[in-house]
């Protein structure tokens, strides 16, 4: 179980880093500095996100959680898919700025939802 706690903290560290790197790239684009795409900032988020998801699936494998029984986890995975899709579009230079802005807002809202579900694990609806 100590092992589980250590992996969970690593997962959390990657989660905070992932959010920071995403917001940082959005801010650089907003400041008219798209050159981060020619720096390590291009690859670093992918490496971190791969680690984040590997740790997530390891926690699932060794912990008590099941996506179909624990609603917070099932919805977290759904929100993750939306966050990946809208996050990708928000950073896509070929899209128009208003489209990217809407995508950025949606991605950030879903990211907030992911953190909320992970932290509070609410029961969203009662199945009879």
Span of 6-14, 40-48, 87-95, 97-105 interacting with ligand HEM by CB under 6 A: 6-14
Map the footprint of ligand HEM across residues 64-83, applying CB under 6 A: 65, 76-77, 80, 83
Map the footprint of ligand HEM across residues 90-119, applying CB under 6 A: 114-115, 118-119
For 31, phi and psi rounded to 5 degrees?
-85, 5
Residue of minimal CB distance from ligand HEM?
56
The residue from 13, 51, 59, 78 that contacts ligand HEM (CB under 6 A) is 59
Buried residues in 20-41 as b, exposed as e (16+ CB within 10 A): ebbeebbebbeeeeeebeeeee
CA pair distance 103, 114, nearest whole angstrom: 16
* Cα-based distances in Å from 1 to 64, 65, 92, 115: 11, 14, 41, 23
The residue from 56, 90, 91, 104 that contacts ligand HEM (CB under 6 A) is 56
**Total of chain residues touching ligand HEM, rule CB under 6 A:** 21
């Amino acid at each position: 179980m100590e092992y589980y706690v250590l992996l969970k903290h690593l997962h959390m560290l990657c989660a905070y880093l992932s959010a920071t790197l995403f917001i940082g790239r959005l801010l650089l684009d907003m400041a008219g500095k798209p050159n981060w795409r020619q720096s390590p900032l291009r690859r670093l988020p992918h490496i971190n996100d791969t680690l984040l998801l590997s740790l997530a699936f390891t926690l699932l494998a060794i912990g008590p959680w099941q996506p179909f029984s624990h609603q917070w986890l099932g919805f977290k995975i759904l929100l993750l898919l939306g966050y990946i899709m809208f996050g990708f579009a928000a950073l896509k230079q070929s899209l128009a700025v208003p489209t990217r802005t809407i995508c950025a807002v949606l991605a950030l809202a879903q990211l907030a939802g992911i953190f909320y579900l992970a932290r509070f694990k609410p029961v969203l609806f009662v199945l009879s």
